[in-house]
A = this chain, B = another copy of it.
Amino acid sequence: MQYQKILNAIAFEASKTENRGVVASYIPELSNIDDGKFGIALLDEHGDFFASGDTEESFSIQSISKVLTLSLAFKLIGDDLWERVDVEPSGDPFNHLSLLEHENGIPRNPLINAGALVVADILVSHLRHPKQEFLEYIRKIAGDTSIDYDLKVAGSEKKTGFKNYAAAYLIKSYGNLENDVEDVLDFYFHQCALSMSCHQLVKVFYMFANRGKCLEHNPYLTLAQVKRINAIMLTCGFYDEAGEFAFEVGLPGKSGVGGGIVALLPEKFCVATWSPGLNLKGNSKLGMEALEKLTTKTGLSIF
């Protein structure tokens, strides 16, 4: 595969695109990003790295972090996890809280906010220093100690994240949150505020394409666990655009409102894109288009 040539072509087309979507504005720290940014990075099955554009610049990974906390919670407590969170697509763009009410506090899947809060609660229960230990877990997988939280972003979300407070208290009212809401949200706002570049993202997500092993061949997850997380990413990774992404791109993946997307083809490659402008569904506009081009040009997808 001539990945480098393909990434260059995609980055070139992105640079020419006028309609770049709208940068998320709900917290000031996100809204200040230059919407001209675009990067795409790829690690193939041999560990070879390809990149084009702004792939070394860090951005707020936001919801992409939900896959990483999920992997750590799954590692820690195994299938007990599924007693506290389901694995079905939410199918509902707008009211995850009403779903919680219908389903007695069991979130539909770990990649919507409600589910990620339950996962965060599990980490807060099982780790002595949750924020620090989660950060070390990421750094170790990536082999990169420069990865860190953006504390300004975390603080900003804390001040405005009323809907996440609402979700956390609702889950707690159903008995599905063990710790204090404040503690869970403090962890949650930090995980979302992880700051990473496309390059760092593919190094961390490489394990999901590589049967659970990181670039250094250290095992972090079993093959069965990796397959399950990949299945969840495919069916639930893009909110109410999950079907669209499976349909147009055909890869397990996860997006964040910071404009990042990671996706992977098992045993073939892991890819990350970044472009801050979002489409109407809240996913990076150019990132979605880039990944669609990647699977079209390479002819590679899980389907």
Residue ranges of A at the interface with B (Cβ–Cβ < 8 Å): 86-92, 94-95, 97-102, 108-109, 162-163, 165-170, 172-173, 181, 223, 226-228, 230-232, 234-236, 240-244, 246-247, 250, 252, 266, 299, 301-303
Within the complex, which residue of B101, B102, B109, B235 is in contact with A235, where a contact is CB–CB below 8 Å? B235
Given A228-B247, A235-B242: A173 and B169 within 8 A (CB)?
no
Within the complex, which residue of B95, B230, B250 is in contact with A101, where a contact is CB–CB below 8 Å? B95
Besides the known contacts A97-B166, A162-B169, 5 further A-B residue pairs in the complex with CB atoms under 8 A apart = A87-B247, A89-B235, A165-B169, A232-B247, A235-B246
Q: How many copies does the complex hold?
A: 4
Residue numbers in B under 8 Å from A101 (CB-CB): 94-95, 97-98
Of A243, A250, A303, most B-chain CB atoms within 10 Å: A303
Residue numbers in B under 8 Å from A299 (CB-CB): 223
Within the complex, which residue of B91, B226, B301 is in contact with A108, where a contact is CB–CB below 8 Å? B91
B91-A92 in contact (CB<8A) = yes
- Closest A-B pairs by Cβ, 8 of them: A91-B91, A98-B98, A89-B89, A162-B173, A166-B169, A88-B243, A166-B170, A165-B169
Residue numbers in B under 8 Å from A252 (CB-CB): 303
How far, in whole Å, are A86 and B281 apart by their CA atoms in the complex?
14
Within the complex, which residue of B86, B94, B303 is in contact with A227, where a contact is CB–CB below 8 Å? B303
How far, in whole Å, are A230 and B302 apart by their CA atoms in the complex?
9
A250-B231 in contact (CB<8A) = yes
Within the complex, which residue of B166, B235, B243 is in contact with A87, where a contact is CB–CB below 8 Å? B243
A226-B95 in contact (CB<8A) = no
Residue numbers in B under 8 Å from A227 (CB-CB): 250, 301, 303
Given A101-B95, A252-B303: A243 and B109 within 8 A (CB)?
yes
Of A86, A231, A250, most B-chain CB atoms within 10 Å: A231
Q: Which residue of B lies closest to A295 (CB)?
A: B227
Residue numbers in B under 8 Å from A169 (CB-CB): 162-163, 165-166, 169
A102-B95 in contact (CB<8A) = yes
Closest CB of chain B to A270's CB: distance in Å?
13
How far, in whole Å, are A31 and B252 apart by their CA atoms in the complex?
39
